[in-house]
Amino acid sequence: MNRRAFLGSIAAVPAVGLLTESHSASAQQALPTIRPKRLAPGDTAGIVAPASATFQSVDVAIARESLEALGLKVKVGEHVLSRHGYLSGNDKDRAADINRFFKDDEIRAVLPIRGGWGSSRVLPYLDYAAIRRNPKIVLGYSDITALHLAIHAKTGVVTFHGPNGMGRWDAWSVEYVKRVLFNAEAVTFENPKELADRNSLTQTENRVQTITPGQARGPLIGGNLTVMTTILGSPYVPSTDGAILFLEDVGEDLYRIDRMFTQLKLAGILDRIGGFVFGTCAECGPGEGFASLTLEEIFADHIKPLRVPAWFGAMIGHQTPQWTLPIGLDVEIDATAGTIKMLSAAVQ
């Protein structure tokens, strides 16, 4: 399934860094890093819908009950069940829910209910001054990449790439949510080492594949490849100068993955990074009628020539389980071991 079909199926059911000199006006200078407060049982999380429409109230109930199972109280944004075509209400209304929750002293975390498409459209309407004055945990992935990148670029606030409100809250992923957001641990992220079954002689799932060995330190920046390339050249793109760039995607033919890495290269993004991590690319195939590079060959063409520590196969993407990664926080990667080490807690 390609990404267009993927986004269509959602509607049917009830970048980045200092740019080249010609684009330097759009590049964001790094701001002082701001860490939000940690979560504790009894805190309140606000559910918002910055992207695709949620068609059934049961989905909101599932998101609410999942957060309550974490010990949180829940407020639901006014427009979570609104609809404007395939979007959850018009752009200003979706942004208004986010702004309202950042100004609400009772709210400690803002959780998008789902991704899909549409978060990029709300970016001009967010109150970044209010977000900076009232830093809160923002957790999500996929299309929520646009919120993560914009908030960090405009405010310096650390946000978190992890489960959406309506996501699959498996025990492995929840453990990372608790360690990073509740316990304020400086976590070292690494893939599970268990064998797929007792008949296996070696690890066949969740394998680390090194592109270029070595270690590197820098701020962790990234998210969904398609979403990141969509907002390249805008004022909502944080600097990736010396950053550890992490990416994932879903439902894209591999020639499109190649095309997007070419875009990052031509925009001057890849030449400035200090390290690279790729997660999964679920349902990414060659496409009809196309001969194809493999994902490994795409990395050989675009990433290996950078000569920075790089690896792929991380627990990042549209498949569970997944890590809760702090966007904007300094980390250290080991491309041989396949680890991402937080150099400090991401919450206060």
Catalytic residues: 142, 248, 318
Pick from 336, 342, 313: nearest CA to 191: 313
The amino acid sitting at 346 is A
Element (H, E) at 86: none
The amino acid sitting at 187 is V
CA dist 186 and 346 (Å) reads 7
CA dist 19 and 75 (Å) reads 39
Answer for the pair 133, 154: CB distance below 8 angstroms, yes or no: no
- What's the sign of the alpha-carbon dihedral 251, 253, 257, 263? negative
The backbone torsions φ and ψ at residue 121, rounded to the nearest 5 degrees and listed phi first, read -70, -20
Task: Please give the sequence-ordered ranges of beta strands (E in DSSP) within the chain, or none if there are none.
Answer: 44-48, 73-76, 107-112, 137-140, 159-161, 188-190, 209-212, 215-224, 244-250, 275-282, 310-312, 325-327, 330-334, 339-342
Q: Which two tokens stand for residue 337?
A: 């071991």
